[in-house]
Amino acid sequence: MLDSVIATSDEPMGPDQYRFVATDAWWLGSFGAHQHLTEHRLRIWIPARPERDWMLDRELTGRQRWLTGSAERARDDGFELHDVAPTGVFRAPYGEFHAARDAGIDEADGCVEPVRRRRGSWQAPTAEFLARLPRDPVALLARLEADHPGRWTSPFSSAVDALRTCLVPAELRGVLYRALTGLHGVHLEPEPVEVGDRACLVLVHDAGRTRTELRIDKADGQFAGERDTLRTDSRCGLPAHTLIGETAVHTAVVDELGVHPPG
Residue 111 pLDDT class (50, 70, 90 cuts): very low
Q: Would you call 63 helix, strand, or coil by DSSP?
A: strand
* pLDDT tens, residue by residue, 43-64: 999 999 999 999 999 999 999 9
- How many helices (DSSP H) and strands (DSSP E) are in the chain? 7, 10
The single-letter DSSP state of residue 239 is P
For residue 135, count other CB atoms closer than 10 A to its CB: 12
For residue 127, count other CB atoms closer than 10 A to its CB: 12
Question: Got the DSSP string for 87-114?
Answer: -EEEEEETT-TTHHHHTT--GGGT-PPP
Q: pTM above 0.85?
A: yes
**pLDDT reading at 203 higher than 60:** yes
CA separation for the pair 72, 149 (Å, rounded) = 43
Tell me whether strands 243-254 and 223-230 are parallel, antiparallel or unpaired.
antiparallel
* pLDDT tens, residue by residue, 77-107: 888 888 889 999 999 999 998 764 454 444 3
